[in-house]
Chains A and B, each alone.
Chain A
């Protein structure tokens, strides 16, 4: 069973502050993804990476940066947090293009 962990599990941030969400996977998966989920809606892709030291933009990258310092770790960075970024954030990983995505437990972010 693939293991994807996220930290923190929840966070309260102030508007304009910097927030870093972390994701760690232990299965040597190539691909990693960051999604956000808003209450009552599906998941939307923010950033993704298919190799260490490289990140790509997803569907809604504005206001977010990503960092993949190693195969195991993938971070999502909100340089200037805004109220509209209140959501639940999920990290996922997969081995190859056609394989299943394995999701972490999510980080609940509240921006005040």
Chain B
């Protein structure tokens, strides 16, 4: 799983497989955002989950949030080669208004 200053994790899978990425965060939050960053581009929000949802779906994406264990997961079903990217979880920062604190990310490579 990702957080803080740990090095980027890497996963390699074949197209069509399902994948789950995990994120553990340090401070209590009621919202977790998941961003996808494709090569040479900035991060883009793909799914946002709040504590009252526990699970959120968007197309082939599914996010979960467990505030008791301070963890979140992002699952992608039926991966495509175009899902190849780095995936970050982000939570609101505690020191700066509106800040996001990003995890270290998971690099996902999907082979066709």
Interfacial residues, chain A to chain B (CB-CB below 8 A):
4, 31, 33, 35, 40-45, 48, 50, 56, 58-59, 90, 92, 94, 96-97, 100-106
Q: Which residues of B in the span 95-112 have a Cβ within 8 Å of any Cβ on A?
A: 95-100, 102-105
13 CB < 8 A contacts A-B: A40-B7, A40-B8, A42-B2, A45-B100, A48-B98, A59-B93, A59-B95, A59-B96, A90-B42, A101-B45, A101-B100, A105-B41, A105-B42
Interface SS majority for chain B: loop
Question: Considering residues B88, B97, B98, B102, which has the most beta carbons from chain A within 10 angstroms of its beta carbon?
Answer: B98
- 6 closest pairs, A vs B, by CB? A103-B42, A42-B102, A40-B8, A97-B98, A43-B102, A42-B104
A103 & B98 in contact (Cβ 8 Å cutoff): no
Q: Which of A40, A43, A56, A97 sits near B88, CB closer than 8 Å? A: A43
* Cβ contact within 8 Å between A50 and B97: yes
**Are A41 and B42 in contact, CB atoms less than 8 angstroms apart?**
no
Chain A contact residues: over half helix, strand or loop, or mixed?
Answer: strand
Neighbouring B residues of A48 by C-beta, 8 Å? 96, 98-99
- B7, B33, B43: the one within 8 Å of A90 (CB): B43
CA distance A1 to B88 in the complex (A): 21
Q: List B residues at the A interface (Cβ < 8 Å).
A: 2, 4-5, 7-8, 33, 40-45, 48, 88, 93, 95-100, 102-105
Check if B5 sits within 8 Å of A41, measured CB to CB.
Answer: yes
In the complex, besides A40-B104, A45-B96, A97-B97, 5 extra interface pairs with C-beta distance below 8 angstroms are A41-B104, A42-B2, A42-B104, A48-B98, A103-B42
Given the known interface contacts A42-B102, A43-B88, the answer about A56 and B42 at a Cβ–Cβ threshold of 8 Å is: no
Given A41-B104, A42-B104, A43-B88, are A33 and B99 neighbors across the interface (CB < 8 Å)?
yes
Residues of chain B lying within 8 A (CB to CB) of residue A59? 93, 95-96
| B residues in contact with A33, CB < 8 Å | 99
